[in-house]
Amino acid sequence: MEFEVTASRKRPQSLMELSGQDFVVATLKNSIESGRIAHAYLFSGPRGVGKTSSARILARSLNCEEGASITPCGVCSNCKEIARGNSMDVIEIDGASNTGVNDIREIKDEVLFGPGSSRYKIYIIDEVHMLSNSAFNALLKTIEEPPPYIIFIFATTEIHKVPATIRSRCQQFNFRLVELGEIKRLLANVCDEIAVKYDEDALSFK
């Protein structure tokens, strides 16, 4: 069953609000608070469990003007621009439509220039497993020796199609399907907040 919990009423603003991915949240929190920021993250798991949302939230956590934090302020211009998807320093690429080596070459050239108004220049590559082999090879050279201000966040539903050479250079996070009990609890919370009455049974998928 696929279920986009975060699409309900509002999207989570910080990693602490990310539902059902406790291990991911705990590890990222630890990494940010201790200042051990990886230069490549790989988020894997089924569709709709919050990988891309988490990538955007992580970008905000890292680039918030108040300082890198698990709870970015949400009101500074960096936070707002990332939320709107128009930050110059957070570049989202759909791996499914940019599969070729030329697309990756462009990234290789671009990473030589630092971020404009942020701490990091962050590339979010969704469906990264769709890249061609030559594109992966081109990318590998960049993630082997990234400039210190560059961070890659890859997301994939098919981790086994991502070459081991790329995987081994990433901090990997396996997102899991949110359990039914957790989904029911979230739905009940939303109903309570907007004062909608419901039958317990109606919260289940039967």
Q: Applying CB under 5 A, which residues contact Zn ion? A: 64, 72-73, 76, 79
Nearest distance from C-beta of residue 15 to Zn ion, angstroms? 14
3-state SS string for the chain: CCCCHHHCCCCCCCHHHCCCCHHHHHHHHHHHHCCCCCCEEEEECCCCCCHHHHHHHHHHHHHCCCCCCCCCCCCCHHHHHHHHCCCCCEEEEECCCCCCHHHHHHHHHHCCCCCCCCCCEEEEEECHHHCCHHHHHHHHHHHHCCCCCEEEEEEECCHHHCCHHHHCCCEEEECCCCCHHHHHHHHHHHHHHCCCCCCHHHHCCC
Nearer to Zn ion, 18 or 79 (CB): 79
Nearer to Zn ion, 51 or 60 (CB): 60
Nearest distance from C-beta of residue 183 to Zn ion, angstroms? 30
Nearer to Zn ion, 76 or 140 (CB): 76
Nearest distance from C-beta of residue 23 to Zn ion, angstroms? 25
Nearest distance from C-beta of residue 81 to Zn ion, angstroms? 10
Nearest distance from C-beta of residue 160 to Zn ion, angstroms? 36
Nearer to Zn ion, 73 or 140 (CB): 73
Nearer to Zn ion, 50 or 72 (CB): 72
User: What is d(CA 19, CA 144) in angstroms, rounded to the nearest whole number?
Assistant: 32
